A and B are shown apart, each in its own frame.
Chain A
Amino acid sequence: MFSAKRILIAAASLGLAACAMTALPDRLDLRTTRATADGQFQVSIHPLVQVVPVNRIHAWEIEIKTPAGTPITGATIGFDGGMPQHMHGYPTQPRITAELGNGRYRLDGVKFSMTGWWEMKLQIRAGERSDQITFNTIVTEPAKG
């Protein structure tokens, strides 16, 4: 679902992070529901934890629909990404560990090793359709231990 509240939170996080370390690029798209690059799918993504932690493995949920809103089941999803400003990837190799029904998938093994701008890149294949999308996430939680 396209939630104004979620964007508020994301944008507020961006504001705080921007005055922290490396400056973020202008117009970073922080929407968590978007169409894939070629418009094949509509994808939503959200963490399955209250606060996105630093340096702890946790899971996200991915929801995939057709542009018309029909849930896509049985998709194959590849995951990649990292911190473009630091030229490094994830400290872990996250992957889909379960299909949750209704076009929802569990992405597990996500770990952010530091605060800042992270890219979450999904390669999605379902039947004949194949497309990709890059979500941007700003991690702001202070590192612990």
Chain B
Amino acid sequence: MALRLRLLAWSGAALLIAGSQAVLGHAAASLAPDGWTAHEITLMKTLHISALADKEPDPSNAYEARQDAAALGKKLFFDQRLSANGRISCASCHSPEQQFQDGRPLGIGIATGKRRTMPVAESGRGAWQFWDGRKDSLWSQALGPMEDAAEHGGNRVAYARVILEHYRRDYEAVFQALPASEGWPLAGGPNGTVAERAAWENLTPLQRQEVSRVFANMGKAIAAYENTLHFAPSRLDNYIGAVTGLPSAAPGVLSSSEKRGLRLFMGKAQCISCHAGPLFTDQHFHNTGVPPRLGSRPDPGRSAAIDTLLRDEFNCLGPYSDARRDQCTELAFLAANDPHMVGAFKTPGLRNAAQRAPYMHAGQMATLEDVVRHYASAPQAVIGRNERQPVQLSASEVSDLASFIHTLDSAIEERAPGTRFPGAFKDR
């Protein structure tokens, strides 16, 4: 009985597939002059920018879609007073002129960091932030560098003082009345110098909570600003639009090499397995055998971030989150002991990647060709296990894949909360 049903199922499936290919094949014949198969057309549609769904709300940040919060967040993002030396802002590494990153192998703030600066546009769509996912929201992420000695190098009492002095009206219009700073030291925080930590301990629990609340709200405002940063349509979007009939901002043309690269990307080279969807990322962590920057001290990546994440007072379950407990599903079902996470790092999105050399989590590779050759050879990992298998790619195929990545270049646009696409896409 079971066998007969299975056979029936298979013949039915074959009919279904043949039917869908016939229809798509017909559409492709009239719309796709470059010989794309029905299946390739289906995959291309998943990469088009209009496939970007509405961002799922972050229940831990009740202010993330507010215009006034975004306006305040933008000011904070560029404010160099929010640093130990008065010369570092978020924009120092996340430079708007460079797709909100810095083009360096390792970020440089007060000192040199351990990893590559990540870009900002659409970054709120992943469940986890940073290369190792040690933060579970955009607002909580924004707070990390501020108290990191190598980055902004400051402390939350000093930051709260900046808000009291320079942003009182903006802050109170979005959040609540600011606390009184009576009894606060000039500097203090739980992650600072010995003196700053001592000063922090001298505050009452209520004072510490009030300062931390202001600090958390700074992150929520910065996240609201970051949520306004979006990718404009790229040449690839326009090309896919032209080929598949999806909305298009302009006529799309790709070179022969770029088209060959796109075909490899979706097929033989299997890039699309992880670099999936309109942002070209599965938002997850993978060990791809990238050589550590320091071979003697390999970076354990995701596996070392779990404890940090769970202990974080600014996570979804913490006292500064706006979420109900049952809304923190990512933490509730956190994979805390997955052996595959040793040496694993987040899949970066590829929009504008051609403009973001050097590559990998510590800028280990100088060019896109280096990256493609690395994935093709799939070397043994120094720490953990490389999940990729080798793929044979010729020199011209490597070059085609690298040139394809250039078709993902586009401007970063700031759009008011709730506006996802430019005018050309509004009718969809």
Query: What is A's interface to B at a CB cutoff of 8 Å?
Result: 2, 4, 7-8, 10-12, 14-16, 19-22, 31, 54-57, 82, 86-95, 108-109, 111, 113-116, 142-145
Compute the total of residue contacts between A and B using a CB distance below 8 Å: 124
Q: Which of B233-275 contact A (CB under 8 A)?
A: 270, 272-274
In the complex, what residues of A have CB within 8 A of residue B278's CB? 144-145
Partner of A91, one of B9, B284, B387: B284
Q: Which of B261-305 contact A (CB under 8 A)?
A: 270, 272-274, 276-279, 282-286
Output the least CB separation between B300 and chain A (Å): 16
Q: Which of B1-41 contact A (CB under 8 A)?
A: 2, 5-6, 8-10, 12-14, 16-17, 20, 39
21 A-B pairs with CB atoms under 8 Å apart are A7-B5, A8-B9, A12-B16, A15-B13, A16-B17, A20-B39, A20-B43, A54-B276, A55-B282, A55-B283, A86-B286, A92-B335, A93-B335, A95-B333, A109-B333, A113-B283, A113-B284, A142-B43, A142-B276, A144-B52, A145-B278
- With A15-B17, A145-B125 in contact, is A94–B333 under 8 Å at CB? yes
In the complex, what residues of A have CB within 8 A of residue B338's CB? 88-90, 93
- With A7-B5, A11-B9 in contact, is A86–B53 under 8 Å at CB? no
A144 touches B277 (CB 8 A): yes
- With A12-B12, A12-B13, A16-B17 in contact, is A86–B39 under 8 Å at CB? no
A142 touches B277 (CB 8 A): yes
Output the least CB separation between A17 and chain B (Å): 10
Output the least CB separation between A106 and chain B (Å): 13
B336 touches A143 (CB 8 A): no
A142 touches B13 (CB 8 A): no
Judged by a CB distance under 8 angstroms, whether B340 is at the interface is: yes
Partner of A11, one of B12, B276, B330, B385: B12
List the B residue with the shortest CB-CB distance to A141.
B46
In the complex, what residues of B have CB within 8 A of residue A88's CB? 286, 338, 340, 387
**For the complex, what is the distance from the CA of A84 to the CA of B53, rounded to whole Å?**
29
Q: How does the 8 Å CB contact mask read for B190-222 relative to A, with 1 for contact and 0 for none?
A: 000000000000000000000000000000000
Judged by a CB distance under 8 angstroms, whether B55 is at the interface is: yes
Query: What is B's interface to A at a CB cutoff of 8 Å?
Result: 2, 5-6, 8-10, 12-14, 16-17, 20, 39, 42-43, 45-46, 51-53, 55-56, 122, 125, 127, 270, 272-274, 276-279, 282-286, 329-330, 332-340, 385, 387
* 8 A-B pairs closest in CB distance: A109-B333, A143-B277, A142-B46, A11-B13, A113-B284, A143-B276, A92-B333, A144-B53
Partner of A143, one of B10, B13, B46: B46
Output the least CB separation between A120 and chain B (Å): 14
With most chain B CB atoms within 10 A of its CB, the pick from A2, A89, A144 is: A144
**For the complex, what is the distance from the CA of A8 to the CA of B6, rounded to whole Å?**
8
Output the least CB separation between B222 and chain A (Å): 20
List the B residue with the shortest CB-CB distance to A114.
B282
In the complex, what residues of B have CB within 8 A of residue A86's CB? 273, 286, 387
Output the least CB separation between B276 and chain A (Å): 4
In the complex, what residues of B have CB within 8 A of residue A143's CB? 46, 276-277, 282
A114 touches B5 (CB 8 A): no
**For the complex, what is the distance from the CA of A12 to the CA of B21, rounded to whole Å?**
12
- With A82-B340, A87-B340 in contact, is A111–B9 under 8 Å at CB? no
B5 touches A144 (CB 8 A): no
A57 touches B333 (CB 8 A): yes
**For the complex, what is the distance from the CA of A11 to the CA of B90, rounded to whole Å?**
50
- With A7-B9, A82-B340 in contact, is A89–B387 under 8 Å at CB? no
B12 touches A8 (CB 8 A): yes
List the B residue with the shortest CB-CB distance to A57.
B329
B270 touches A21 (CB 8 A): yes
- With A55-B283, A92-B335, A144-B53 in contact, is A22–B17 under 8 Å at CB? no
A7 touches B6 (CB 8 A): yes
Partner of B273, one of A21, A92, A109, A145: A21
In the complex, what residues of B have CB within 8 A of residue A108's CB? 333
Output the least CB separation between A33 and chain B (Å): 9
